[in-house]
């Protein structure tokens, strides 16, 4: 895929995620749950842009069963990833916090990779650029791609990065935003080992 197509697809995906987050905020503006979304007449608190707190809460739920793709475009069912404790990091090269945490994930995987399966799911389409980007950050674990956005939609992601901690039987026991090496290590020990 040439650079223009990748940029177009990446821009469309970011626009779609932003639209979902804004739609969610607007939908909540009329409820009586104490939402912090401002009203159209300017009363009420100010609108807050999407943050990790905007994402759906999936902790305690099973890992959604959808297809993601390999670099070559082959489908991989997420249900086929289940069987070992797993860390799934949803990332993309256009995400600043994702860029910061990838080297930390690479380091932790070197220590715990024989006990915990690490999977990176990129929200951009499969490309050599994305693959090289992650490998240049030290990532050696498997990378998959959510080119059609089905995984992101099922998990309810509106802001990146997101990391899911999944038990061997496929239950999501923890979800987080950006992590560093120490926090990732602590969560693996407390949630998966």
Superfamily of domain 50-191: Glutaredoxin (3.40.30.10)
pLDDT range class, residue 43, cuts 50, 70, 90: very low
Name the helix (H) or strand (E) containing 143: strand 142-145
- What's residue 29's pLDDT? 45
Instruction: Using a cut of 0.85, tell me whether the model's pTM lies above it.
Output: no
Residue boundaries of the structural domains of the chain: 50-191
Give the pLDDT band (50/70/90) at residue 4.
low
Greatest mean pLDDT among 12-16, 32-36, 118-122: 118-122
Task: Report pLDDT for 57.
Answer: 79
Write the CB contacts of 172 (distance below 8 Å, at least 6 apart in sequence): 58, 59, 60, 61, 62, 63, 164, 165, 166
The tens digit of pLDDT for each residue in 67-119 reads: 999 999 999 999 999 999 999 999 999 999 999 999 999 999 999 999 999 99
pLDDT tens for 119-176 read 999 999 999 999 999 999 999 999 999 989 999 999 998 888 999 999 999 999 999 9
Q: Are 121 and 92 in contact (CB under 8 A)?
A: no
């Amino acid at each position: 895929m040439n650079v223009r197509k990748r940029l177009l697809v990446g821009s469309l995906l970011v626009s779609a995620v932003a639209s979902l987050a804004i739609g969610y905020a607007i939908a909540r503006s009329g409820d009586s749950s104490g939402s912090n979304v401002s009203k159209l007449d300017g009363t009420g608190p100010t609108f807050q842009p999407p943050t990790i707190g905007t994402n759906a809460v999936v902790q305690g739920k099973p890992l959604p069963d959808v297809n993601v793709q390999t670099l070559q475009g082959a489908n991989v069912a997420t249900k086929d990833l289940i069987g070992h404790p797993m860390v799934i990091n949803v990332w993309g090269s256009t995400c600043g916090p994702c860029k910061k945490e990838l080297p930390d994930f690479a380091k932790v995987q070197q220590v715990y990779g024989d006990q915990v399966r690490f999977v990176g799911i990129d929200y951009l389409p499969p490309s050599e650029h994305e693959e090289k980007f992650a490998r240049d950050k030290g990532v050696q674990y498997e990378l998959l791609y959510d080119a059609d956005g089905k995984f992101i939609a099922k998990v309810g992601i509106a802001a990146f990065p997101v990391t899911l901690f999944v038990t061997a039987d496929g239950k999501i026991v923890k979800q987080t935003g950006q992590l560093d090496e120490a926090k990732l290590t602590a969560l693996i020990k407390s949630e998966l080992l």
